[in-house]
């Protein structure tokens, strides 16, 4: 019985430490590479890929809380495009190469979103 209670305590400890372990495993990312890949995903309207990249960026300890908040807002807009299966004939900002990640603009409210997360 003592062994079972010890195992139970260990299991509870392991479960409670899982979020801490995940946070510590947040690896540094190559920010310019992520922005370039994010830009490509947005320009190709690959909303799932863009959201996955933004998840990694948001989890990265390299971003300030202010930057993280902007990334979250940007991700929210991309999630809306995915949810609505939005397709653009041309994504504004994707017409010519640039270092900025474009923001697809459907209506005026999108213009408030940051050009570069």
pLDDT top residue among 86 and 112: 86
Alpha-carbon distance of 40 to 46, in angstroms, equals 8
* 58-105 per-position pLDDT tens digit: 999 999 999 999 999 999 999 999 999 999 988 888 876 555 556 554
Report yes or no on 20 lying in a domain: no
* pLDDT confidence of residue 79: 97
Closest CA to 92 of 43, 47, 53: 43
Give me the number of domains the chain comprises.
Answer: 1
Alpha-carbon distance of 20 to 72, in angstroms, equals 21
Does the pLDDT at position 1 exceed 60? Answer: no
Domain span at residue 32? 28-112
Report yes or no on 9 lying in a domain: no
Report yes or no on 98 lying in a domain: yes
Does the pLDDT at position 4 exceed 90? Answer: no
Cα 53 to Cα 10, 14, 31, 74, 108: the distances in Å are 34, 28, 11, 12, 25
Report yes or no on 91 lying in a domain: yes
Alpha-carbon distance of 67 to 62, in angstroms, equals 10
Report yes or no on 117 lying in a domain: no
* pTM beyond cutoff 0.85: no
Mean pLDDT check: name the lowest of 13-22, 32-41, 71-80, 88-97: 13-22
Query: What value does the mean pLDDT of the chain take?
Result: 73
Report yes or no on 54 lying in a domain: yes
Report yes or no on 37 lying in a domain: yes
Rounded mean pLDDT of 45-58? 96
* pLDDT confidence of residue 103: 56
Report yes or no on 3 lying in a domain: no
Backbone region of residue 102 per phi and psi (left: phi > 0; alpha: psi in -120 to 50; beta: other values): beta
């Amino acid at each position: 019985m003592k062994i079972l209670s010890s195992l139970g305590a260990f299991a509870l400890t392991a479960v409670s430490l899982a979020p801490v372990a995940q946070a510590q495993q947040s690896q540094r990312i190559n920010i310019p590479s992520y922005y370039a890949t994010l830009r490509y995903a947005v320009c190709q309207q690959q909303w799932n890929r863009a959201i996955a990249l933004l998840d990694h960026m948001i989890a990265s300890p390299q971003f300030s809380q202010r930057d993280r908040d902007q990334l979250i807002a940007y991700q929210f807009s991309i999630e809306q495009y995915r949810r609505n299966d939005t397709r653009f004939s041309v994504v504004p900002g994707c017409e010519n190469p640039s270092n900025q990640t474009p923001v697809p603009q459907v209506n005026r409210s999108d213009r408030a979103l940051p050009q570069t997360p």
